[in-house]
Chains A and B, each alone.
Chain A
Amino acid sequence: MKSLRTDRLLLVLVVGGYLLLWGPIIVLGIFSFNSSAFGVKWESLTAKWYVELFQTSAIMDSVVRSLLIASVTTMVATGIGTIAGYGLFKYKFAGRRFLRLSILLPITVPYVIMAGALLVYFTQIIHVPLGYPTIIIAHISFSAPLAVFVTLGRMQRIDWSLEEASIDLGADRLTTWRKVTIPLLLPAIFASAVLIFPWSFNDFTITYFVAGVGTTTLPLYLYSMLQYSLKPVLINAISLIFIITPTIGILVLSYFQREKQFTR
């Protein structure tokens, strides 16, 4: 028999863990409707910060920039990662294990070190002016391994005789890729994209190093606001928007995912 005490302890742990996860976000959300521009003291309910947010062009510009960078990064990194994962899984060649390890290892390198290395590389070795290209290249370099990682995980659960069946039924390699392999990998491709997009969108450390003048992304802008702005409460407002939007997105997607469960 399970004791009542164990049950209660479990409940406390669950509620505690949940509060730890969502508490700060809830507080932040509530305070985004606080009319005081500073601090933690509640004054009165207002939505004016949201209005101001959309009227501050610097913020809107940085949002657009971040969305653009994250979109390009997601597309390119997911593509590279999926193809690399496929190659590493399917083809046997000398040095395959080494290659796999050397692609996955950079995930563990601290961002500051990675960022410094990229900065030196861009400015001192290949001499690319800092800006969109450097940010996107940097983002791809840290997010493509994630896609490889996700794809490799999925590959282990794929029934590869499906590819052979396709070839046997008269499809050449390319058609097989298009008609069978990609659809089978779609969950992995999708998972990679869902992982990489916010990763790129949120990245501060690496972007901080390799961004040039005029390519301030949202995280960089928020950071500077925190340091110098007269209205830190704006951060609360924008944060809430960026928490709620993906949450809704994920809820909608997971609903459709359940509707269309055909993969084993």
Chain B
Amino acid sequence: MQEQARLPCVEIRNLVKKFPGVIAVNHINLKVKHGEVFSLLGPSGCGKTTTLRILAGLETADEGEVLIEGEVINDVPPYRRDCNLVFQNLALFPHMTVEENLAYGLERKRVPKSEIRKRVGEMLEFMQLNGMESRYTVQLSGGQQQRVALGRSLVLKPKLLLLDEPLAALDRKLRKDMQVELKRIQKEVGITFFYVTHDQKVALAISDTIAVMREGKLEQVASPEEIYDTPRTRFVADFMGATNIFPGKVIARGGGEIQLETESGLKIVALADKASNNKTITGVCVHPERINVLPTGPDVETENQFNGRIVGMIYQGDFVELKIHLLSRKKDVSVTAHLDARLSRKDSFAVGQEVTIQWDRDGSSTLHG
């Protein structure tokens, strides 16, 4: 048992998967701790679903090893693996009732009938599906179908639950509800979740660890906060919504801060992170909500303060998105800022108006590639 606790739930070593004309997974290494929600996040075609399918055993690895609790499972057929998959389209059996769907895996494992009935009953209760047991799955609502799909896998008590964007097909409100629900379920059953998604919001909301994947490789593996606040690369920054990316070089360093000069000639001050040297820093990114926008006022020069003109304004409900062109630059630089709708009146800014933008040094993050 102690041995088990020390081993990661899942370990992937040097995994490679090639398809004709493309390397879907390119030497991936990762570890998933017991009981955590691990998200593999990336755009479509980045290899995340392939990785998941290799874990499930539905695809075979070309190179490398997949381990569950320290055991190599490359050659274990999918129907003998102690991990279950919740499919993107849920893949509920349309010719079976809810109860039959839930019992399917247990029957295959030749669990005694009385125990199947007991465990299915508990799962119906747990998933709040009481009274639905003899319905066909097409007669259920989207949220209920999600719960049947989850229950069908969880009732087997797998060591690992693989989820392939099961929330993607839901509308926005239901997706939010299901995120909360998913997190609650995971906490309660304590099973490790391996969640594949292209939706950074879902990943941030449910994960303990996020791995951002790009073209078959992992870009960054970290906690949601770290990924969001300090994306390491331009790709991660962009994917996490830090749309203001300033490529540039370090020109000065000291006292825990660095100064950069961007390609467009801006001088930016940022926090120096210890782990990196000047050479590897390739720029800075700033999340739109970290940028303060002020009506152009007194010329008090503080750090990271620039003048610009509003060229676009999009009302988004809970915030207003401003597109601002910085003035008098060699190259055109535009910045996106989000204003909290509660704090700024809609009419306090207008397109064409000159404004001053500013952000604090801890609101930005240095990029390394």
Give the B-binding residues of A (Cβ under 8 A): 159, 161-162, 164-172, 175, 179-180, 183-184, 262-264
Contacts and interface: CB of A to CB of B under 8 A. Distances in A.
A172 to B, nearest CB: 5
B72 interface: no
A190 to B, nearest CB: 13
Interface of B: 56-58, 77-80, 84-85, 87-89, 91-95, 104-105, 108-109, 136, 138, 152-153, 156
B95 A161 contact: no
A168 B92 CA distance: 12
A165 B101 CA distance: 11
Contacts of B84: 168-169
A183 B87 contact: no
B108 A171 contact: yes
A220 to B, nearest CB: 41
Contacts, number: 64
B91 A167 contact: no
A201 B229 CA distance: 75
Contacts of B80: 170
Contacts of B104: 166, 169, 171, 179
Contact of B95 (A165, A168, A175, A262): A262
A169 B152 contact: yes
Given A162-B91, A165-B85, A262-B136, 18 more contacts: A161-B88, A162-B94, A165-B87, A165-B92, A166-B93, A166-B104, A167-B78, A167-B79, A168-B57, A168-B84, A169-B79, A169-B108, A170-B105, A170-B109, A171-B79, A171-B104, A184-B95, A264-B138
Q: What 7 pairs between A and B have smallest CB-CB spacing?
A: A170-B108, A169-B105, A165-B91, A161-B91, A183-B95, A168-B85, A171-B108
Contact of A164 (B77, B87, B95): B87
Contacts of A184: 94-95
13 contacts: A165-B87, A165-B92, A167-B78, A167-B79, A168-B58, A168-B85, A169-B79, A169-B104, A169-B105, A170-B80, A171-B108, A263-B94, A263-B95
Contacts of A183: 95
Contacts of A168: 56-58, 78-79, 84-85
Contact of A170 (B56, B94, B156): B156
A164 B88 CA distance: 12
B265 to A, nearest CB: 53
A169 B104 CA distance: 7
Contacts of A159: 89, 91
A168 B162 CA distance: 11
Contacts of B91: 159, 161-162, 164-165
Nearest to B164: A161
Nearest to B82: A170
B108 A175 contact: yes
B94 A264 contact: yes
B369 to A, nearest CB: 36
A170 B95 contact: no
A169 B156 contact: yes
Contact of A172 (B79, B94, B138): B79
Contacts of B136: 262
A161 B58 CA distance: 10
B260 to A, nearest CB: 48
A169 B105 CA distance: 5
B153 A169 contact: yes
A180 B79 CA distance: 15
Given A164-B58, A184-B95, A264-B94, A170 B89 contact: no
A171 B152 CA distance: 14
Contacts of B58: 164, 167-168
A178 to B, nearest CB: 11
Contacts of B88: 161
Contacts of A264: 94, 138
Residue picked from B57, B105, B152, most chain A C-beta under 10 Å: B105
Given A169-B105, A169-B152, A169-B153, A162 B79 contact: no
B36 to A, nearest CB: 22
Nearest to A161: B91
Contacts of A262: 94-95, 136, 138
A135 to B, nearest CB: 36
B115 to A, nearest CB: 15
B93 to A, nearest CB: 6
B164 to A, nearest CB: 9
Contacts of B153: 169
A166 to B, nearest CB: 7
A124 to B, nearest CB: 48
A96 to B, nearest CB: 16
Contacts of A169: 79, 84, 104-105, 108, 152-153, 156
A180 B156 contact: no
Residue picked from B79, B88, B89, most chain A C-beta under 10 Å: B79
A177 B328 CA distance: 70
Nearest to B136: A262
A171 B103 CA distance: 12
Nearest to A182: B95
Nearest to B97: A262
A13 B95 CA distance: 41
A185 B132 CA distance: 26
A176 to B, nearest CB: 8
Given A161-B87, A164-B87, A170 B138 contact: no
Nearest to A164: B58
Given A168-B85, A170-B79, A170-B156, A162 B108 contact: no
A159 B89 CA distance: 9
